[in-house]
A and B are shown apart, each in its own frame.
Chain A
Amino acid sequence: MNEIFKISWRNIWRNPGRSGVLLAAIVAGVWAGVTTSAVTNGFVDQRFDRLINEVSHLQIHHPEFRTERETSMFIPQAEEIIEFLSRDDRLETLSARAIAEGLIQSPANNAGIQVFGVDPDLEQATTSIQDDIVEGEYLDSDIRNPIIIGRKLAEKLNADLGMRLVLTFQDVDEDLTSTVFNVAGIYTSLSGAEERLVYTRMSDLQEHLSENPVYHQIAVVLRDEAQIESFVAELNDTFPGSETLSWYNLSPELRLYADLGNQVVYYLMGIIMLALAFGILNTMLMAIFERTRELGMLMAVGMNKARVFFMICLESILITLTGASAGMMLSALSIRYLHSNGLDLSAFSEGLAEFGYDAILYPSLGAESFLGITLMVAIIAIMASIYPALKAIRLEPAVAARE
């Protein structure tokens, strides 16, 4: 009934000072919450993007390879799988890798490592390894038996560009084999990879592993993330001899980040809205206390309790939604600005780099988060309005006639 709407709306402005303060608190709270969420989300997204780049959308292995890590556990029918994938137009790119666990030695030190034998072109298309090189060159280098190692490993081995390193690992027949590689490049990474993962050319590694080419891992990037799940299922059906897993199951850290990105905004907004709920509650209780006689009169002349209840609820809902819409609009503007200009964190970039973050952050918040926040604000407004409304309808109509 739009008459009740009219009373509620005008009642808000009866005490412009008090409503103004509450409104300002709601605007500021929503703005701060949403914008902070977007910044946090930007952090999470940035890290997520780089981590998922290392893992790819999905990976195929021998069913036991991930636990046992034996060179002998290469993917059966690997060539058929690659063939199958290459013909599928859902595929963006893939990189098939031979993997060996082993030991690397420099004159100064040695370390346990994992060697990736990769096709330089395919690997570069699938991951950002080439961009992550901070010293030297990628595997397309002219030097013989080139190897790329992580910066932390280089420090541990006291290795420089061009240094000869000895790799010792098992071949497919579980015989030990040793061979010399030359450091072509040094890379950095977000994850622990730079301590233990080294890259060589597939062709250089292959000849020491087996007579015929073997692959231990096929990393796949699809054109559309939405198709990952169905594609994984299809591959598992088609090639039951191997195990296909999505990034979600491959990397617990990624899964955490993916969930965190969605949740952080709700936790943050939840806390802010809870604080605002008390503000709303307090303001409404004050308003009802001041209007005891008037509310009594309304019930005395025949306004039923459902309508009085609705009128009071509507009042807090209207003020909350007004403040929240203004706060959201302001947030959308500041997020848009920050998203296109970037948030320059170079003042802290040394500390951030430690954790693998870039100096420029691009805050962002998805439309569904905005929707979720709107829903949450509405629910909290309704909840905060129920108690004052109950108090209002418990008033005796006789108070209208009393001094």
Chain B
Amino acid sequence: MAIVRTEKLSKVYNPDTVPVHALRDVSIEINEGEFTAVRGPSGSGKTTLLNMIGGLDKPTSGNVFINGQEISKMKDSKRIDFRLQNIGFVFQHYNLIPVFTARENVSFIMLLQKRNKKEIQQRADELLEQVGLGERKDARPVQLSGGQQQRVAVARALASEPKFILADEPTANLDTESAMNLLDIMEKMNHEQNVTFVFSTHDQRVIDRARRVITMVDGAIHKDEIQHTDEKQDA
């Protein structure tokens, strides 16, 4: 069974004033272990689609199933908890908690999950090491570069052991080196831990590294293709 399945998903913003059809009848499936890019020009509906899949916003019509559960009909409070347990998020603007250190940022989400304190500390440290920030655990976001902050965000997204991670333009604010470095880390997690990633981007260098590329135009899926990357496949 697919982790994510959408059925004729549509979203209209401002239906009563100036309606904007951001999504039109989008039906897709995402399976476990995918490393998928959603591409398309600005305004094509990438963020809207990711927000629907992530349960951050409700569709105007259609359904979103995560692990077979229809989330767009859930009550707000239940959906928040569902996100906490099932979905990891990475945002374009990093969106870390500025008053917390890297380690506290990664731990926080696990504390919200009410996990065991000791396990939290250990996992936070491990994750920060995996994203190459073993030395910067006690730094606050302002003390970190954009690339480093985004790596903390990836560690945070992974911390809650979600079914999949959604990343909306994760490299948009990064220079090439940091962007490629972030992609390396994401790819490594995908290979080694079978973490499912869905990310939106309009950066060709990032698109080249995806295995599946969904192209959106005007809120609809224009193309959905599997591409063969140069990466060596599963060891």
Question: Chain A interface (Cβ within 8 Å of chain B)?
Answer: 1, 3, 6-7, 10-11, 14, 293-294, 297-305, 307, 396-398, 400-403
Of B32-40, B105-113, B212-220, B223-231, the one touching chain A? B105-113
- Please report the C-alpha to C-alpha distance between residue A301 and residue B85 in the assembled complex, in whole angstroms: 9
Number of interface residues of B (CB under 8 A): 31
- Please report the C-alpha to C-alpha distance between residue A324 and residue B100 in the assembled complex, in whole angstroms: 27
Are A300 and B54 touching (Cβ within 8 A)?
yes
Interface residues in B42-76 (C-beta closer than 8 Å to A) = 47, 50-51, 54, 56-57, 76
Question: Chain B interface (Cβ within 8 Å of chain A)?
Answer: 47, 50-51, 54, 56-57, 76-77, 80-81, 83-85, 89, 91-93, 95, 97-100, 104, 108-109, 111-113, 156, 160, 168
Q: Which residue of A lies closest to B86 (CB)?
A: A302
Are B56 and A398 touching (Cβ within 8 A)?
yes
Are A305 and B77 touching (Cβ within 8 A)?
yes
Are A401 and B92 touching (Cβ within 8 A)?
yes
Q: Which of B56, B85, B111, B160 contacts A397 (CB 8 A)?
A: B56
Tell me the smallest distance from the CB of B47 to a CB of chain A, in Å. Answer: 5
Task: Report chain B residues within 8 Å CB of A298.
Answer: 97
- Main DSSP-derived SS at the A contact region: helix
Q: Which residue of B lies closest to A7 (CB)?
A: B99
Count chain B CB atoms within 10 A of each CB in A293, A299, A400 and give the residue with the most: A400
Are B112 and A303 touching (Cβ within 8 A)?
yes
Tell me the smallest distance from the CB of A254 to a CB of chain B, in Å. Answer: 56
Tell me the smallest distance from the CB of B81 to a CB of chain A, in Å. Answer: 6
Q: Which residue of A lies closest to B113 (CB)?
A: A302
Are B168 and A302 touching (Cβ within 8 A)?
no
Are A401 and B168 touching (Cβ within 8 A)?
yes
Are B156 and A301 touching (Cβ within 8 A)?
yes
- Please report the C-alpha to C-alpha distance between residue A304 and residue B112 in the assembled complex, in whole angstroms: 9
Task: Report chain B residues within 8 Å CB of A398.
Answer: 51, 56-57
11 A-B pairs in the complex with CB atoms less than 8 angstroms apart: A3-B104, A7-B100, A14-B99, A299-B80, A300-B54, A300-B56, A302-B85, A303-B80, A304-B77, A398-B57, A401-B92
Are B51 and A401 touching (Cβ within 8 A)?
yes
Knowing A300-B83, A302-B84, the reply to whether A294 touches B51 (Cβ < 8 A) is no
- Please report the C-alpha to C-alpha distance between residue A393 and residue B156 in the assembled complex, in whole angstroms: 22
Task: Report chain B residues within 8 Å CB of A297.
Answer: 89, 91, 95
Task: Report chain A residues within 8 Å CB of B54.
Answer: 300
Task: Report chain A residues within 8 Å CB of B50.
Answer: 401
Q: Which residue of A lies closest to B88 (CB)?
A: A301
Are B57 and A3 touching (Cβ within 8 A)?
no
Tell me the smallest distance from the CB of B51 to a CB of chain A, in Å. Answer: 5
Task: Report chain A residues within 8 Å CB of B51.
Answer: 398, 401
Are A401 and B99 touching (Cβ within 8 A)?
no
Knowing A398-B56, A400-B91, the reply to whether A301 touches B98 (Cβ < 8 A) is no
Task: Report chain A residues within 8 Å CB of B93.
Answer: 293
- Please report the C-alpha to C-alpha distance between residue A7 and residue B160 in the assembled complex, in whole angstroms: 20
Are A305 and B76 touching (Cβ within 8 A)?
yes
Q: Which residue of B lies closest to A3 (CB)?
A: B111
Tell me the smallest distance from the CB of B172 to a CB of chain A, in Å. Answer: 10
Are A396 and B57 touching (Cβ within 8 A)?
yes
Task: Report chain B residues within 8 Å CB of A14.
Answer: 98-99
Task: Report chain B residues within 8 Å CB of A307.
Answer: 112
Task: Report chain B residues within 8 Å CB of A3.
Answer: 104, 108, 111
Tell me the smallest distance from the CB of A307 to a CB of chain B, in Å. Answer: 8
Task: Report chain B residues within 8 Å CB of A1.
Answer: 111
